[in-house]
Amino acid sequence: EKSAPTTIAGVEGRVMLASPFFVEGGPAGAVVILAPARVEPTDDDLELLALFSSQAAIAIKNTHELSRLRSGALAALGRMATQVAHELKNPLGGLKLYARHLEQRLQKAGDAEGLEVAVKIGHAIDHLAELVTEITAFGGTPELKRVLTEVNALLDECLALAQDRLTGRRIEIIREYDQACPPALLDARALRKALLNLIVNGLEAIGAEGTLTVRTVFRGGAIDILVEDTGCGMSHETQSRIFDLFFTTKPNGTGLGMGIVRSVIDQHGGHMTIDSAPGKGTRVRLHLPAGRAA
C-alpha cells in the first residue's frame, strides 16, 4: 500500500519530499529526496516517489520472510544433525580404541606400511569425532555460564592452543591489546571455542607466510575483538554463504565453525562483522557488551 508523500519547505527555496513506508503494520522507514533549488515537484513526481516507497516496503517484507524461512529450515536441519551426531558418538569412541590398538600391534610387529595406514585411519576417526562435536555444539543452545573473564588472557590462551599450526611457516603474530579492557561477564568456554575458530581460520588462510593480528579495544562499555589475517581473502559469494550449515571451502572443513562463532556472539548479546576481499585478507570484528558484575 502506497503512502502519500509529505512535502517540507527547506532553505534557499529547496523542497524535501518524504514518503514513509510500512512493513507488517508498523513504520519501517522512509524514502527522502531533496529537490534541486527552485524546482517544484509535480504530481507525477509525488506518485513516482510513493511507488518507490511501496516497492521498498515489499522488498523489506520479502527479506524478513526469507530470513524467517531460512532460520526455520536451518533449525530443523540442526536438530536432525544433532540427533545423527548423538547416534555416531559412541561407535566412534569404540573405533578410536580399535584403531589405537591396531597401531600399537603393528608398531610392535615392525610393519611400517601397515602402521602408516592405521595412523591415517586414526586421523580420519579424529576428524569424524571433531565433526560430531561441532554438530552437537551447533544444534544445541546451552545456557551461558558467565564468569569474570580477562579477554586479553583468553586470546593468549587461544593463540597458544593454535601454536602447532605455525610449525614450518613464517607467520608473524601481532598482539595489540587494550590494557584498559576490564574483566567481563562472559562464558569463557564458549568464547574460547569461537576465538579459536577465528584464529585457526586466519592461520589456514595465510598459507606459508604472512601476518595474523589480534586486537582488543574497550570503549563505550563494550569490548571489540578483531582477528585479521593477510591470507587469501574471500569472494563476495563465499561471504554470502559463510554462515550456511556445512558450507566450506576447505578440503577437510566441517562448515560449522563460523555458525558456531556467530551463535556464541549472539548469545552474549553482541554482533560480528566481516570484511574480506580476494587477495586482501580477512578481518573479523566481534563486539561484546562488557557486562561487569555490580
Q: Give the pLDDT means over successive 10-residue stretches in the chain (294 positions).
A: 66 75 78 75 80 82 72 64 72 85 90 88 79 64 81 93 85 94 90 90 90 94 94 88 74 72 88 92 93 53
CA dist., res. 77 & res. 247, Å (int): 13
Q: What is the pLDDT of residues 1-15, one digit of tens each?
A: 556 777 777 666 677
**Contacts (Cβ under 8 Å, ≥6 apart) of 46:** 4, 5, 7, 17
pLDDT value at residue 61: 80
The helix (H) or strand (E) run that includes residue 288 is strand 282-289
Largest CA distance in the chain: 95
> Cα–Cα distance between 61 and 158 in angstroms, integer?
41
Cell of 10: 527547506
C-alpha to C-alpha distance for 193 and 85, rounded to whole angstroms: 19
Q: What is the DSSP letter of 163?
A: G
pLDDT at residue 151, as a whole number: 95
pLDDT digits (tens, 9 = 90+) for 17-76: 888 888 777 777 877 887 776 677 788 887 888 888 888 888 888 777 776 766 666 666
Helix (H, G, I), strand (E, B) or coil at 177: coil
Distance CA 109, CA 115 (A): 9
Predicted pLDDT at 294: 39
